[in-house]
Structure 1
């Protein structure tokens, strides 16, 4: 988006080199944009083929929104495959989030959390099909990552170990929130923010970014696993910004409903 603005500003500049520099910039912009559209199209096809809209009807369609996470982090063409895989995982996180927020009972969510911790679908054999659909989609992502890492000569065992653990951590944090809600428990600020580090998604996303980028090493994963201060601070900022926005939206909707009911 910034590149598009820069070209517009530059085109109006009297010293603009329209023959070479601007033409090249527009050509490069269009080629890369075409690649991004192809990536979103691929992820949209995946969403439709797995039929999430029917099989997980309570979940939000956030394909394009999910794409913006990896896209904003690494927009270079060489990261195309990684972007598509991270988008799928982001969507899976969203599906899990919606399941914890609006669908599953505490008992069902506990079984689902256990299945994620053990990566064993037998733990959720008794649950509704939507849980199995989400679980299988996540497992397919692990297989894709394994193939990708083998293709690029990476350590698939190391990567999968840490990515799976990061995914499990965020699901366990969702479980904590679900129990708070079920028990009508209002956590202290410290309790909420400690858990909020994980539910912000930052530790998980940073782990995946490292895993599928060029920095995957045991030392780097260990550093991220310990939640360094810079990651903790960004997680706090993300968690509070998200919650303040949600609170304002909820307050506005409640006020509108109240005003409409009084008419």
Structure 2
């Protein structure tokens, strides 16, 4: 619903939901349940399918598993270059495009497959917001260091300082994404740009107060219930939706 809420994107929502459900299972296998030997066998099996976008996600998961099992802490730069793929932003964007665009345009498809700057920066924001909400719980259960821990290890900073640094990085990345959005000569349609931006915006909500995806807190469930099941009373003169505070989403372009 966050990626494409308009009525004409019903099929897109179905496909993206299926993709995210499958991605979540695969992510848990790599992060929690699989041994390194099992993960290498699974990755090799998928590589034989020769499916480019899905394969990138699998390979990124294996990289993180190897880091974890070898007790290696990557630099923040290393982590982000791999993490923008492992967070599944590119594959969700591609799923949204293929299921929500009619007709599919070869030039646009090739552009998205080239991992352009717009997708690159958007997926990094997605990765960082995910880490801000989930890394504490994931580290406790046993998982690879995330961006916060990588920065702490690299610089000796405290967790508080590291979190502020990550937030500042996201602000800078949002400025780059917004500049691209304003480009009138973009090689992709506005719908395609919106799919990507909406995914990143949704991550700010989903991971604002912890992990609203993997561990559905009551606040997240209440909002979803409101969206889906509670009618908006027409006689109510007040707005039924309270906009996010500006300091919670400083660069997200909600207008």
Which structure is higher in helix share? 1
Corresponding position of 1:186? 73
- Using the size of structure 1 for normalisation, the TM-score is 0.49
RMSD: 2.2
Of structures 1 and 2, the one scoring higher in RCO (CA 8 A, sep 6+) is 2
Q: CA deviation at 1:208?
A: 0.8
Corresponding position of 1:175? 62
- Using the size of structure 2 for normalisation, the TM-score is 0.50
Corresponding position of 1:99? 29
| Structure 2 gap ranges (5+) | 142-255
Corresponding position of 2:224? none
Corresponding position of 2:7? 77
Equivalent-residue separation in structure 1 for 2:56 and 2:138 (angstroms): 28
Check if 1:208 corresponds to 2:138. Answer: no
Q: CA deviation at 1:82?
A: 2.8
Equivalent-residue separation in structure 1 for 2:113 and 2:121 (angstroms): 15
SS across alignment from 1:72: coil
Cα distance change of structure 1 residues 191 and 252 upon mapping to structure 2, 3 Å threshold: closer
Cα distance change of structure 1 residues 251 and 168 upon mapping to structure 2, 3 Å threshold: closer
Corresponding position of 1:46? none
Listed one character per residue, the Cα deviations across residues 196-224 of structure 1 (whole Å, up to 9, x for unaligned) are 11012111111111111226222212211
Corresponding position of 2:83? 196
Equivalent-residue separation in structure 2 for 1:87 and 1:109 (angstroms): 24
Larger radius of gyration: 1
Cα distance change of structure 1 residues 167 and 72 upon mapping to structure 2, 3 Å threshold: same
Equivalent-residue separation in structure 1 for 2:100 and 2:72 (angstroms): 40
Decide which of 112, 121, 132 is 1:233's aligned counterpart.
121
Residues 11 and 100 in structure 2, CA contact (< 8 A), matched pair in contact too? no
Corresponding position of 2:135? 247
Equivalent-residue separation in structure 1 for 2:140 and 2:61 (angstroms): 25
Corresponding position of 1:131? none
Equivalent-residue separation in structure 2 for 1:236 and 1:250 (angstroms): 19
Equivalent-residue separation in structure 2 for 1:90 and 1:118 (angstroms): 22
Equivalent-residue separation in structure 2 for 1:101 and 1:251 (angstroms): 10
- What is the aligned residue count? 140
Residues 57 and 88 in structure 2, CA contact (< 8 A), matched pair in contact too? yes
